[in-house]
Chains A and B, each alone.
Chain A
Amino acid sequence: MTIMTTVQAINDALGLKMAEDPRVFVLGEDVGWMGGDFGVTRGLFDEFGGERVRDTPLSEAAIIGTAVGAALVGMRPVAEIMFADFIGECYDQMVNNAAKMHYMFDGQFKAPIVIRTACGAGFGGGPHHSQQVEGWFMNVPGIVMVAPTTPYDAKGLLISCIEDDNPIIFLEHKALYSKKGEVPEGRYSVPLRKANILREGADITIVTCMKMVYDSVTAAEELSKEGISVEVIDLRTLRPWDHETVLESVKKTGRVLVVNEAPKIGGLAADVSAVISEEAFHDLKAPIQRVCGMDVPIPFSLPLEKLILPDKEKVKAAARKVMQG
């Protein structure tokens, strides 16, 4: 075991896969000698050269298109979209092309690509460098969304993603990049579509992902002092998400908070709530509560940003509310 940041853990996974599989290559803006805007690809250019660590122009559609095309002929591209907000520029490539390729040609082609992208608010990035985009893809059959929380999961999940045959969006929350944790050396993998119960509890199930996992776990620790026992589930794969683990937990606790940084309307939290309502309604002791971002763009000013985002205190308040039934 080594202590690594999330950035180092992702970098480790990329280097490992590139070394063992010549089909794997990386492309994106400034991923080459500079090592990416957040340093995630640092050192790969020196180790593997410009053929396999490709700098591109500011052409997001071409970055994803190139990745899809190369995947069609057997390569394993890992594309970087510098900020998730820029996905607007390549949404068509992801939604109309990568996601549908396997279905509309009835299995003749597959597009095994990984699209890494930095998402999330909390640092004054403003409306175009802060968004959570999972809601943009909830309604897109064929797309897989994976979102690690810990450095351990970041490396293990990325290895699984590169080895999987589907188009995968790999969401890297910027606030988690510098978090440190234990990461094994060498190869291991973390399974896709499998949620992780980070903390067991009896009274409330919190279903969450990415940075909100930390807020939720801290809230759970503090709530335990009030006598409220909280189970925290990190979804890890956001689409398709692990219904089984969540429903099992809900059947045990009967109370649910769905905590998601993205705006509340129509997103991941809405889908999780809907499935629980359909599948476990009679196990519920209180209405499901969604603790999400407000339905506004991300403002630049830090106090405003804090106001519109969910956090530990908002999670605690919602927990007390569901305990009252």
Chain B
Amino acid sequence: MGVEISTEKYLDMYRDMQRIRKFETALEREFKRGNVPGMLHIGLGQEATLAAIAHSLQLEDGLFPDHRCHGLLFLKGTPGEKIMAELFGKGTGICSGKGGSLHSADAAVNNFGDNSIEGSFMVTALGVALGWKMQGKNSLVAVMVGDGTSGRGEWHESLNMAKVWNLPILYCCVNNGYAISTPVGFSHATPDLVDFARGYHIPACQVDGNDLAAAFKATQDAVDYIHSGKGPYFIEYQTWRWQGLFSGEFRPPEEVKYWKEDHEPIKLARIELLSRGVAEERLAEIENSVESEINRWVEFAKHSPAPDPAKAAVNVYVGWEVEQP
């Protein structure tokens, strides 16, 4: 473990955990009201992992977000209202409503967007890292993947080539226990996903993804390792998603209780902050200000216009407008 985390830093990350929690809660509410089209995947329960990653990346670092990390999209630097509007399918969204939750990119902050064929972009990340390396840049590329992704061919092609070419890639594997309904151990030769990385001779660690300090320190160590030019690094964040299936909760009650009550990431972070002498009022103040920030984003999205119909056939090709038959 590296340097101790200052209370101010801890509070900053706590604020971002709250932003993720309240963003996803609001999103789920608006989805149920019919304001958010498509499919809903939310990162409730994974706030500590996501905040730890967000606080370890620089603006110039690349990010390939997955489908369950809306929080990272705004924590990377994109204005939150533009993310919310994108998820609402509005013209003011970061991709003008063409991408949605599963395809939100922002070139200005080096967010290369989700691909939503899960794991598919693991090989795209190779190219970004290789391109930057050939150009002499020292930025790294963070790739968000889940446990389910380890079944994909691209997962293995990416790990192999990242090692062969010694590329600056941080593989952030958010192991939340299930690929939709299928438990990790049921469908993979090992429940320890670090084993796959180690098999490709990539240094890897497992960390409690609900322990903010542990997740942050592990990520910092990985980032330092990559910046030293030694090549890729793999972290398995062990966490748990609150969202069940569309049909409801499918996991055993004792498992649900452990993750949602006993080992709940925001509760753990709160206990740590209170034990450091931070006043209850200060935490409440943070929670209230985050609440109104997220409400503003929701209002912005709700009151934004639908995309301009003229945009439907724009940007298919670069520099060519093709007559629509």
Contact = CB atoms under 8 A, between A and B. Distances in A.
Interface of A: 25, 51, 56-57, 59, 61-62, 64-75, 77, 92-93, 96-97, 101-110, 112, 141-142, 144, 164-166, 193, 240, 243, 275, 278
Interface in B112-134: 112-113, 115, 117, 120-132, 134
A62 B318 CA distance: 24
A189 to B, nearest CB: 15
Contacts of B106: 108
Contacts of B322: 240
Contact of B154 (A62, A73, A77, A105): A62
A165 B323 CA distance: 18
A102 B157 contact: no
A61 B153 contact: yes
B98 interface: yes
Nearest to B139: A73
Nearest to B115: A97
Contact of B95 (A59, A69, A97, A104): A104
B175 to A, nearest CB: 23
Query: Residue among B134, B314, B322 with the most chain A CB within 10 A?
Result: B134
A74 B131 contact: yes
A61 B115 CA distance: 14
29 contacts: A62-B123, A62-B126, A65-B123, A65-B127, A66-B127, A66-B161, A69-B112, A69-B128, A69-B130, A70-B128, A74-B135, A75-B127, A75-B131, A92-B120, A93-B120, A96-B117, A102-B318, A103-B98, A103-B315, A104-B95, A104-B99, A105-B98, A105-B99, A106-B315, A107-B314, A108-B106, A108-B107, A112-B318, A164-B319
A61 B117 contact: no
B134 A75 contact: yes
Contacts of A74: 131, 135
A108 B99 CA distance: 12
Contacts, number: 149
A92 B129 CA distance: 20
B98 A104 contact: yes
Contacts of B315: 102-103, 106-107
A89 to B, nearest CB: 8
Contact of B124 (A57, A65, A104): A65
Contacts of A75: 127, 131, 134-135
Interface in B237-288: none
Contacts of A59: 123, 157, 160-161
Given A106-B315, A166-B320, A56 B120 contact: no
B317 interface: yes
Contacts of A25: 134
Interface of B: 95-96, 98-99, 103, 105-107, 112-113, 115, 117, 120-132, 134-135, 153-154, 157-158, 160-161, 164, 311, 314-320, 322-323, 325
A74 B62 CA distance: 14
Contacts of B134: 25, 51, 70, 75
A57 B123 CA distance: 13
A283 to B, nearest CB: 18
Point out which of A57, A67, A73, A109 has the most chain B C-beta atoms below 10 A from its C-beta.
A73
Nearest to A59: B157
Given A104-B103, A108-B107, A193-B320, A68 B124 contact: yes
Given A96-B115, A240-B322, A65 B317 contact: no
B117 to A, nearest CB: 5
Contacts of A68: 124, 127
B79 to A, nearest CB: 15
Contact of B127 (A71, A102, A110, A164): A71
Contacts of B128: 69-70, 72-73
A104 B113 contact: yes
B124 A275 contact: no
A106 B316 contact: no
Given A77-B127, A108-B105, A62 B317 contact: no
A51 B115 CA distance: 28
B174 to A, nearest CB: 21
Contacts of B103: 104-105
Contacts of A166: 317-320
A93 B86 CA distance: 24
Nearest to B110: A73
Contacts of B320: 166, 193, 240
A240 B323 CA distance: 10
B123 A66 contact: yes
Contact of B325 (A97, A144, A193, A275): A275
A73 B131 contact: yes
Contact of B123 (A69, A144, A193): A69
Nearest to A55: B164
Contact of A141 (B120, B157, B316): B316
Contacts of B107: 105, 108-109
Contacts of A64: 123
A71 B126 CA distance: 11
A239 B323 CA distance: 12
A59 B152 CA distance: 13
Contacts of A103: 98, 315-316
Contacts of B125: 65, 69
A104 B115 CA distance: 10
Contacts of A67: 127
B157 A62 contact: yes
Contact of B317 (A102, A106, A108): A102
A104 B112 CA distance: 11
A69 to B, nearest CB: 2
The 8 closest A-B pairs by CB, nearest first: A69-B127, A65-B123, A165-B318, A70-B131, A62-B157, A70-B127, A73-B131, A59-B157
